[in-house]
Amino acid sequence: MLLNSWEKTMTKNTKKYSYSDDLVSDLHKDAWGHRPTNSFWFHWEIADQDAKQAIWDNLIDDMVKNDAEEARIKADNASNLAKRIKEVCKLGAKNYRTAIRWIIEADELKPDLYYDGDQLAWEYNIDFKHKKLFKLAGVA
């Protein structure tokens, strides 16, 4: 009976934490694009488990929000590039391949064939799945 009461008390007072001292630097980088500052580490080191869990949860929330914003920006950039390609075709490019080459030349970019279109996707800040556009245009 006493053991049963002790088990119930310990179960009620035991919390599960999902944060990791080993991974918080990586999570911070995923959330904000850079490793934590000394100030962050100072606050992390003095925080108790509940505070560390709150910091961890906030970093996850920030990462999710920033990832969604980055995806929106990349989609907008891809849409803008597609519009630009259509406009260049209206200005005289015979096809989209020519239009893409003209755009790259106008933007003074030098495609690096080694990167297989990834470099141009990065330059235009669009999702890497669009690299095939540059390959089909013969510039990557």
- For 101, the domain range is 74-140
* Phi, psi (degrees; rounded to nearest 5) at 12: -70, -35
Q: Is residue 134 domain-resident?
A: yes
61-76 confidence digits (pLDDT tens): 999 999 999 999 999 9
Question: Considering the domain boundaries, does residue 44 fall inside one?
Answer: no
In this prediction the pTM is 0.75
Please enumerate in sequence order all residues whose Cβ is within 8 A of that of 15, keeping only pairs 6 or more positions apart, or say none.
Answer: 49, 50
**Residue 46, amino acid:** I
In a domain, 46, yes or no: no
Number of folded domains that form the chain? 1
Q: Does residue 2 surpass a pLDDT of 80?
A: no
pLDDT tens digits, one per residue of 76-134 = 999 999 999 999 999 999 999 999 999 999 999 988 888 888 999 999 999 999 999 89
- 14 belongs to a structural domain: no
Phi, psi of 121 (to 5 degrees): -60, -40
